[in-house]
Amino acid sequence: MADQALLSNDAVLVGAADPLPQDALTPAREAARERVETLGLPGRRDEYWRFTRPDAFLAPDAPAVPLPEGDGILFAEVDRLKLVFVDGRFDASASDALELDGVEIAPLSEAPWAASLYGSLEGRAHIPVPRPFAALNTAAAVEGLAIHVTGKVSRPIHILHRSSDGTADALWHHVIRVEPGAEATILETGIAGARQNAVIEADIAEGGRLHMIAAKRAGVPELSLGHLFARVAEGGTLKSFELALDGRVMRRETVVEMAGDDAVVHVAGASYGRDKGFHHDDTIFISHAGLRGESRQVFKKVLQGGATGVFQGKILVKPGAQKTDGYQISQALLLDDGSQFLAKPELEIHADDVKCSHGSTTGALDETALFYLRSRGVPRPRAVVLMVLSFLAAALEEIEDEALRTQVADRLDEALTEGLNDGGAA
């Protein structure tokens, strides 16, 4: 598998600057390049890629995406710091000034401290399974933000992606450091291009809190590969939520190390796929190393028109991580035959005084409940939307900020109303 030409062959996927700049990140990029060559790229027979074929990310070209008008309404009304990326590159002129109390934000290339974090969490995340696409990103990324959270940030930081023509491959890599007791919320929405490879590394210090909400726009058949690597120190909190409405092949891997005691990690997602091209994969790996850690994984998928939902979630409780409370639920609602849900909810436990559970269910809409709603005068299409919304509610609950949660719920309601009214389920 190790192929010297690997990087140049896949430069298309990578969207890498050629040649790469020589800067503070150069040693980390070179180390990552070596990792890629050792790890090789995933193939169809890799167990870790059992449910999602890596082919789409390895093809020389990705099909162009049709670009909808505007930036989408999600979070448009929120009082936020807006940071715009075009084709995966930071566009300072379209963004708000990089000034906000409690946080220092700079493009990756302009923040010398970033070198201490860049590639470090990704580099240790290849056990037990290699994640070569993330290493490939580290080896080639030039664009991205360095976000240093030093206090309680009053407004959410909104990273908004735009695509100039819907054809480009985009690649970026953010590093986020949350200092002790500091807190921030980061939103990420928009369309970056036909295909994207994104990595976020987040290091959360003692008592630090980081909230992340990402949303994929409806109707855009993007190919997207995302990795979130996080380390949470004692008493730290990470809450991450992802909304996926449509798309093509999307895989988001979340790898969290709960390094300190009393850490809290909630990872959640809601997705709605309405056609055969939709293939959404949530791959989660949470490892508990500290005492009394609390982790929750809540994933809900609504699948229609031949869509595929994938969930591979794992809780690892390391020896000594006593009093761990680990919870994981993955549920799919299949609105028609032909749609499918593939799941591998995994537990690996090496400590005896823990409470860990996981559940996974798959089924259709409950006709009895539907009948109940209809008999009370709710038209069938609306009844279906209401039931689907209530199915997804538990995932949305993981968004702590009520105003943001309401926005996501409204957006979901809109997409479901539209999708279920042209679909067979209504």
Partner 1 sequence: MAEAAMALDDTDLEVREGVDAQTVATVQNMGAYKYGWDTDIEMEFAPKGVNEDIVRLISERNDEPEWMTEWRLTALRRWQDMAEPKWALLNYPAIDYQDQYYYARPKSMAERPKSLDDVDPKLLATYEKLGIPLKEQEILAGVEGAGAVPAEGRKVAVDAVFDSVSLGTTFKDELAKAGVIFCSISEAIREHPELVKKYLGSVVPQSDNYFATLNSAVFSDGSFVYIPPNTRCPMELSTYFRINAENTGQFERTLIIADKGSYVSYLEGCTAPKRDTAQLHAAVVEIVILEDAEVKYSTVQNWFPGDEEGRGGIYNFVTKRADCREARAKVMWTQVETGSAITWKYPSCILRGDESQGEFYSIAITNNRQQADTGTKMIHLGKNTRSRIVSKGISAGQAQNTYRGLVTMHPKATDSRNYTQCDSLLIGDQCGAHTVPYIEVKNMSSRVEHEATTSKVDEDQLFYCRARGVGEEEAVALVVNGFCREVLQALPMEFAMEAQSLVAISLEGSVG
- Could you list the residues that contact partner 1 (CB under 8 A)? 47, 50, 319-320, 322, 332, 334-364
Nearest approach, Cβ of 357 to partner 1 (angstroms)? 4
CA–CA separation, 229 and 111 (whole Å): 19
Nearest approach, Cβ of 167 to partner 1 (angstroms)? 34
* Angstrom distances, CA of residue 423 to CA of 200, 300, 321, 341, 387: 35, 19, 47, 19, 16
Nearest approach, Cβ of 334 to partner 1 (angstroms)? 4
Nearest approach, Cβ of 361 to partner 1 (angstroms)? 5
The structure tokens listed for 289 are 């190393």
CA–CA separation, 304 and 216 (whole Å): 17
DSSP letter string, 275-325: STT-EEEEEEEEEE-STT-EEEEEEEEEE-TT-EEEEEEEEEE-TT-TT-E
Q: Is the CB of 98 or the CB of 356 nearer to partner 1?
A: 356
CA–CA separation, 57 and 226 (whole Å): 12
Contact 315, 345 (CB under 8 A): no
Nearest approach, Cβ of 57 to partner 1 (angstroms)? 22
CA–CA separation, 92 and 94 (whole Å): 6
CA dihedral (108, 110, 111, 114) positive or negative: positive
Q: Is the CB of 155 or the CB of 323 nearer to partner 1?
A: 323
Q: Is the CB of 26 or the CB of 361 nearer to partner 1?
A: 361
Nearest approach, Cβ of 413 to partner 1 (angstroms)? 23
